[in-house]
Amino acid sequence: MMENKEFQQKIADLLPDIVLKFAQPMAKHTSFRIGGPAKVLAFPKSPEQLRQVLKVSAFLDKKYRILGAGTNVLAPDEGIEDIVICLKDCLDGMEQIDDTHIRVAAGVTMTRAAVYAAGLGLGGMEFAHGIPGTVGGGVYMNAGAYGGEICQICQSVDVMYPDGEIRTYSGEQMDFSYRHSRLEEDGGIVLSAVFALEKKSEQQIREQMQDLLKRRKTSQPLDLPSAGSAFKRPVGGYAAALIDQSGLKGFRVGDAAVSEKHAGFVVNLGNATAADVRHLLQSVSDKVFEDSGIRLEPEMRIW
């Protein structure tokens, strides 16, 4: 294995135009505030720069991981040897295509996209206001909240593959299902998405977004680091209700805890480790299965 300094110089020489950071704690790049140092983080500012990073990753025989806003990720305590490609605020930009369609780059946050649509008097993205991740991550996992999902508004997606090829898929071709898209299997990286919206009163849109934000603040532990909903919604029930019924609100492993405010959230009380969170997730899943016969599966991405 190359020594770190040698590797850093090698990748810096190969990617002279791309912002790189070395040995950065993933705790600084995830909403959970958990994770050891990443060997290298790359911040490509365009699809062409992303293609360059993918090409260099292959040349160096290094795996890579795609990071958006880091709001749905549990990074490992020991750090990451793979190249972490950060797209938030890098693949940036929004444009109105016609009266009811907008194109949004993958690194734009869901909240920014919803506010942009509202300013154009376009409704349909209200549910996304307050979802903390990026559009790329939202499309990748078909993010949703309060009855809305990306699949309901996604008309098309531009996707880059590891070999640098770009393909465009319709919403139907994305094979969306609950917290899932085709990209989970085929390794594609979202570059941008076109959303089909509807003309609506800007005031009405903003009032609805404020109402949803108020509901979030009232019901969710937004004052503590977390990765959002810890578990996927199971068939035949709701994760938070099942966890609550098992008496697990406040259950702790180290500084990782089931939120007292919303049982569907796992929060970092200060110094939680990834090991703490993994242990807690398994313990909660086992207890709920014992009590209800329903097996909860993590919604967060465990690296």
Three-state SS letters, the chain: CCCHHHHHHHHHHHCCCCEEEEEEEHHHCCCCCCCCEEEEEEECCCHHHHHHHHHHHHHCCCCEEEECCCCCEECCCCCEEEEEEECCCCCCCEEECCCCEEEEECCCEHHHHHHHHHHCCEECCHHHCCCCCEHHHHHHCCCEECCEEHHHCEEEEEEECCCCCEEEEECHHHCCECCECCHHHHCCEEEEEEEECEECCHHHHHHHHHHHHHHHHHHCCCCCCEEEECECCCCCCCHHHHHHHCCCCCCEECCEEECCCCCCEEEECCCCCHHHHHHHHHHHHHHHHHHHCCCCCECCEEC
Arithmetic mean of pLDDT over the chain:
95
Judge whether residue 224 has pLDDT over 90. yes
Tell me: pLDDT of 67 over 70: yes
For residues 104-110, average pLDDT: 97
Asked about 259 being catalytic, the answer comes back as no
**In this predicted structure, what is the pLDDT of residue 57?**
95
pLDDT over 90, % of the chain: 91
One-letter amino acid of 89: D
pLDDT reported for residue 109: 96
Nearest Cα to Cα of residue 81 among 37, 34, 132: 37
How does residue 286 score in pLDDT terms, banded at 50, 70 and 90?
A: very high
Of 31, 229, 259, 285, which residue is the catalytic one? Answer: 229
pLDDT in tens, 185-203: 999 999 999 999 999 999 9
Instruction: Give me the mean pLDDT over the 32-36 stretch.
Output: 97
Residue 1 has pLDDT above 80, yes or no: no
Catalytic residue among 179, 226, 246, 259: 179
Model pLDDT, residue 3: 64
pLDDT at 115 over 80: yes
Whether 2 has a pLDDT exceeding 50, the answer reads: no
Task: Name the band, by pLDDT with cuts 50, 70 and 90, for residue 130.
Answer: confident
Give the model's pLDDT for residue 237.
83
Residue 34's closest CA among 291, 246, 227? 227
Query: What is the C-alpha to C-alpha distance for residues 301 and 71, in angstroms, rounded to an integer?
Result: 9
Q: Please report the pLDDT score of residue 95 as a whole number.
A: 98
Look at residue 91 in the predicted model and tell me its pLDDT.
95
Q: Do 114 and 133 contact (CB within 8 A), yes or no?
A: no
Partner residues linked to 103 by β-bridges:
95, 194
Is pLDDT above 70 for 30?
A: yes
pLDDT at 54 over 50: yes
Whole-angstrom distance, CA of residue 156 vs CA of residue 21 = 33
Annotated active-site residue 78? The verdict is: no
Question: What pLDDT is stored for residue 5 in this prediction?
Answer: 86
pLDDT of residue 274: 98
Please state, for a pLDDT cut of 70, what percent of the chain lies above it.
99
Catalytic status, residue 299: yes
C-beta neighbour count of 270 within 10 angstroms: 10
Query: With 70 as the cut, is the pLDDT of residue 270 above it?
Result: yes
What's the rounded mean pLDDT across residues 135-163? 95
